[in-house]
Chains A and B, each alone.
Chain A
Amino acid sequence: MDKQEVKAFFDKTIAENEDLSVGVVAIMTLMKIIEKYQDNTVQGLDENLKLGILAIKTSDYPVTAINSGCELFMRFITLAKLDYNSFEQCRNVMLERGNIFLNRLKQCRAKIVKLATKFIADGSKVLTHSRSRVVLQTLIEASRQGKQFEIYVTKSAPDNSGDVMCKNLTSVGIPCTLILDSAIGYVMEQVDFVMVGAEGVVESGGIVNKVGSYTMAVCAKEMKKPFYVLTESFKFSRLFPLNQGDLPPEYKYSASARQLDERDFKKIHPLVDYTPPFYITLLFTDLGILTPSAVSDELIKLYL
């Protein structure tokens, strides 16, 4: 598959599977590349995969989850190339492992939902930021269990994804209030806890998420409200940002914006920010409920 094909497939899959995270779609795309690969050399396949990853990253979707998904895939699925002699055998093993991996990823969310619904008590008020699929599902599941609660959602500029979240919630009958991004401080005293998703979880135990999450976390800490993060474990990545400035530009700015203004990123609005572990109370993942410091332990187990 060449670059254009990869991109087209990636975009199409995202459009078709509204419900999937971009990281999972990226892995699906890589699987497709392996399937469609025509030559018979492992070396060639490897090159092709790397090109594919590059193509996916230059698309206009958030790179954070794509990065960690691809890294995991390259590390664990394509490692099979070392174990087998014939190429066909090798390819089959990769595909098999890939499918197992994908299935497991798709079950992640259910596990998180199960863990997190317990934390939503009857009559509680929850603040959330932007739109996160796993948060949405958790809230829906909690409501289905008959819990009565109220949600505040930020509008979340620049893409106003909070609007969509609010519509999704009201459609299933959960009382929901849309608030301005600048009103986070105003509503914080009323809410019981904050629940957000994450685009990526970094080695420090902090998260990379839609811009505004950091503001919310700082406010929550100041008002002593718990700050919960719901995230799948494939979003863990081996990155250690020291502060906002230390986040790689590819995470912060979309590919198209980077091309437009290559030298001076100052003028572009960042899409994500980094929330240090200090502000996070708990992380709900498919590995269980973790404290921020446990993230690094899991990463060490995975990669070292």
Chain B
Amino acid sequence: MDKGKQTNAPSKGGKVDGDGLTKKERRALKVQEKNKQHPPDNKKDSQNAPAMKTEPAKPANVPPGQLSEKELRRLEWEKKLAEQKPKPEKSENDNISKAELKARRREQQEAQRLAKQQQQKPPEKAAEVKKAAPSPKKVEKKKVSDSRRLQIVSHLYSDASFSNASVYKNVHPAFVRLGVQYSTKKILGSNARARALLAAVKCLINDLQTPPKQEFCRYLETVLQTCMDYLQLCRPLAVSMTNALRHFKTKLHQVECLEDNVKKEKLLEEIETYVAEEIDKAGEAISLKVNEKISNGDVILTYGCSSLVTKILKDAHLAGKQFKVVVIDGRPLLEGRTMLQRLVQIGINCTYVQMNAVSYVMNQATKLLLGAHALLTNGYVMSRIGTAQVALVAQAFSKPVLVCCETYKFSEQVLTDSFVYNELGDPEMLFTANTLDESSPLVTSKNDNLQILNLLYDVTPPDLITAVVTELAILPCTSAPVVLRIKP
């Protein structure tokens, strides 16, 4: 937001630091330098990474960037000259005529604008890379323009995105695919993401050939690190993923000196046991524990989609319990529909409502079952956006709220609000067909007064939650640190 204003109003751009340059100018210089170094990199990139091949010479619609090489250098030179002059004369600013000053400013602005165009070009490329694999049709995803950014979550925007994706030329195809699946939200749930990640790591281990004179585990670690950096660009890592990965890395360090093949087998085995124990068996145990709490005649409310809750309800249904489920759903992801589909297929009696009907259905409920993205040390539950609201309403109606969470999703983080650490979804998801038809302010992107915020997660304070069901026991949220302490 500020950036836009600055370029328009020269008076604001005048904050000059020690070296006589404004912030803007320094950034512009940096970008220019980078661009000088970049071109060869880009070429390499297009050759090396097979999945990123959708990069023909360069589309014709970026002339300002194209001609830049020389011109920018000239501009830079001119600007430097212009700057060198006023430096000694700073105090004599009054002597310079107004016309001169104006001219100089205009020059600066020009340079900045050019620099900015350059800056914005790389993300476009990134978008292409993202879409490369699944559906090249969806390419027209607009980047969040600066003016639409909300100050309070400014730290959550990741504009570096793919601009330096070229660094990641060693990414294994499985990870490239995974990255696309993450960023297009094909794989969305916390458990699913962890599973997919571990599967990709397995692929990587299988395919990895240690170059001569390198140790397998060390090499694997470096390769894995680049892969993870790449994934981080596609979508911030989930807590479940980081925990799984941390576990894998400790195992990686423990593998003794053996032949590469044996090591590979051992590591593959480790991953399989991790998935089996921490995800599958934990799910079973949680399902058993929750099933003790589900009795005939219950009306169970659930929000969004959770693989674990689906499993629990399925088990309860198969055990012959008579109960009803109310699936609450919220925009923009509408995950509840997936949940509803699964439950109805199982044969459970379901009701589907939108979030705004929560208070209407809440008084019929006997308990709430919620999934979780992570459980934090201070007992807060991080989950899909909207969960806190559902829990709050449940609290108001004094209904017991059960959060189902495997212990591998426990995190050492401490959060008390949803802003410090969160993930931003695509703001365009908040547009509906209706808003697109009219000339809604949502569509006309030039409106500086409008900022759109699409957060993906929220945190629910422990006093809204009756209990957390883990594979160890049913616990109050406040016991999260103890569980973290006793976990190996």
Contact = CB atoms under 8 A, between A and B. Distances in A.
A and B held together in a complex: yes
Interface of A: 203-205, 238, 240, 242-243, 246, 277-278, 293, 296-297, 299-301, 303-304
A278 B482 CA distance: 20
Contacts of A203: 473-476
Contact of B475 (A242, A278, A296, A301): A296
A300 B486 contact: yes
Contact of A301 (B402, B467, B482): B482
A293 B402 contact: no
10 contacts: A204-B476, A205-B476, A242-B402, A242-B467, A246-B293, A278-B463, A297-B482, A299-B473, A301-B482, A304-B473
B115 to A, nearest CB: 55
Interface string B452-488: 0000000000010011000011111011001100100
Contacts of B474: 203, 240
B367 to A, nearest CB: 7
A204 B476 CA distance: 5
B473 A297 contact: no
A303 B463 CA distance: 25
Contacts of A278: 463
A300 B482 contact: yes
B332 interface: no
Contacts of A238: 473
A246 B402 CA distance: 13
Nearest to B401: A242
B367 A242 contact: yes
B400 interface: yes
10 closest pairs, A vs B, by CB? A240-B474, A293-B478, A242-B400, A296-B479, A297-B482, A300-B482, A204-B476, A296-B476, A296-B475, A240-B467
Interface of B: 293, 367, 400, 402, 463, 466-467, 472-476, 478-479, 482-483, 486
Given A203-B474, A300-B475, A301-B482, 6 more contacts: A242-B402, A277-B476, A293-B476, A293-B479, A297-B479, A304-B472
B467 A204 contact: yes
Contacts of A301: 482
Contacts of B367: 242
A28 to B, nearest CB: 29
Contacts of B482: 296-297, 300-301
B130 to A, nearest CB: 44
Contacts of A204: 466-467, 476
Nearest to B398: A243
A293 B479 CA distance: 7
Contacts of B478: 293, 296
Contacts of A300: 472-473, 475, 479, 482-483, 486
Nearest to B487: A304
A203 B467 CA distance: 10
B287 to A, nearest CB: 16
A271 B472 CA distance: 30
Give the interface SS of chain A, mostly helix, strand, loop or mixed.
helix
User: Which of B479, B483, B486 neighbours the largest number of chain A CB atoms within 10 Å of its CB?
Assistant: B479
A235 to B, nearest CB: 18
A300 B487 CA distance: 11
Contacts of A246: 293, 400
A203 B474 CA distance: 8
A277 B483 CA distance: 20
A301 B475 CA distance: 13
A7 to B, nearest CB: 29
Contacts of B483: 300
A242 B466 contact: yes
Contacts of B402: 242
Contacts of B463: 278
B215 to A, nearest CB: 37
Nearest to A242: B400
User: Which of A240, A243, A301 neighbours the largest number of chain B CB atoms within 10 Å of its CB?
Assistant: A240
Contacts of B466: 204, 242
User: Which of A238, A243, A293, A296 neighbours the largest number of chain B CB atoms within 10 Å of its CB?
Assistant: A296
A258 B472 CA distance: 31
A274 to B, nearest CB: 12
A238 B474 CA distance: 9
B381 to A, nearest CB: 15
Contacts of B486: 300, 304
Contacts of A304: 472-473, 486
A300 B466 CA distance: 18
Contacts of A240: 467, 473-475
A242 B400 CA distance: 6
A238 B402 CA distance: 17
A296 to B, nearest CB: 4
B48 to A, nearest CB: 49
Contacts of A277: 476
Nearest to A276: B466
A296 B466 CA distance: 13
A205 B482 CA distance: 15
A184 to B, nearest CB: 20
A217 to B, nearest CB: 14
Nearest to A291: B478
A246 B400 CA distance: 11
Contacts of B475: 203, 240, 296, 300
A293 B475 CA distance: 10
Contacts of B476: 203-205, 277, 293, 296
Contacts of B472: 300, 304
User: Which of A205, A243, A277 neighbours the largest number of chain B CB atoms within 10 Å of its CB?
Assistant: A243
Nearest to B478: A293
A62 to B, nearest CB: 22
B60 to A, nearest CB: 65
A304 B472 CA distance: 8
A136 B467 CA distance: 33
Contacts of A299: 473
B391 to A, nearest CB: 14
